[in-house]
Amino acid sequence: EAGVTQSPTHLIKTRGQQATLRCSPISGHTSVYWYQQALGLGLQFLLWYDEGEERNRGNFPPRFSGRQFPNYSSELNVNALELEDSALYLCASSPLGQGRETQYFGPGTRLLVL
Amino acid sequence: GDSVTQMEGPVTLSEEAFLTINCTYTATGYPSLFWYVQYPGEGLQLLLKATKADDKGSNKGFEATYRKETTSFHLEKGSVQVSDSAVYFCALTVGAAGNKLTFGGGTRVLVKP
């Protein structure tokens, strides 16, 4: 069974640009979560999507946004990039029903903002 | 709110030593508890989990028991290997649909041959 996949693996942008990160969940999983792992700040919850809807949002500004597609894949968009947005962005998915409390993570996208 | 506190690292051990990483939590509801491991340059891998009090999660020689009375979920391994060198994260989630994971700060473990 294929795991959670993310693309690209690395992304370099300059301040003020926009970044788009992509995530494909494990087959059969309907929930997708996004987390930011910034140096010195630990793992912070960003967004949760389920059945195409945003269900919960962490303490991040509105320039962090995303969506979930009918095939349950997801995009995270970061507008007006700032230097402190440099981080590893992790996507996770969880199944519907039994075991839905467990999240499985992808390898991450490392975003560098110059 | 929910929070997870785990011992700060780094923890440096010799091969075959006993490893304990302490984790305590506060939660607004009845949490599920997890340990994740992150190897250098990689994402998070689920190591083990426990969803109710007194449950013991185990995997790859690691164990942790959900202790509701002490709000703890300490990770242990009896004999570590160099390949166990990684960062370990304790985490919890509350809610029937999983919702967000709240993580501890992570503990870096370095195992020397």
* pLDDT tens column, B21-31: 999 999 988 99
Candidate from A42, A101, A108 with C-beta closest to B98: A101
Q: Which amino acid is at A10?
A: H
Do β-strands B11-14 and B107-112 pair in parallel, antiparallel, or remain unpaired?
Answer: parallel
**Nearest to B20, CA basis, from B32, B40, B39, B6:** B6
Instruction: Quote the pLDDT of residue A11.
Output: 97
Give A29-39 pLDDT, tens digit per residue.
999 999 999 98
Within 10 angstroms of residue A42's Cβ, the number of other Cβ atoms is: 15
Instruction: Quote the pLDDT of residue B98.
Output: 53
Give A37-88 pLDDT, tens digit per residue.
998 778 999 999 998 999 999 999 999 999 999 999 999 999 999 999 999 9
Token pair for B80: 């570590």
Q: How far is A69 from chain B (nearest CA, A)?
A: 19
Distance CA(A15)–CA(A84), nearest Å, equals 10
**Nearest to B71, CA basis, from B109, B22, B108:** B22
Interchain CB distance below 8 Å, A107 and B97? no
Cβ–Cβ contact A47 with B under 8 A: no
Q: What is the mean pLDDT of residues B1-8?
A: 91
Q: How far is A72 from chain B (nearest CA, A)?
A: 16
pLDDT at A98 over 80: no
Residues of chain B positioned with their CB less than 8 A from the CB of A35: 101
Per-residue confidence band for A96, with pLDDT thresholds at 50, 70 and 90: confident
Q: Which amino acid is at A21?
A: L
User: Rounded mean pLDDT of chain B?
Assistant: 94
Instruction: Quote the pLDDT of residue B96.
Output: 55
Give B59-96 pLDDT, tens digit per residue.
999 999 999 999 999 999 999 999 999 999 999 999 75
Token pair for A33: 């979560």
Candidate from B43, B91, B99 with C-beta closest to A56: B99
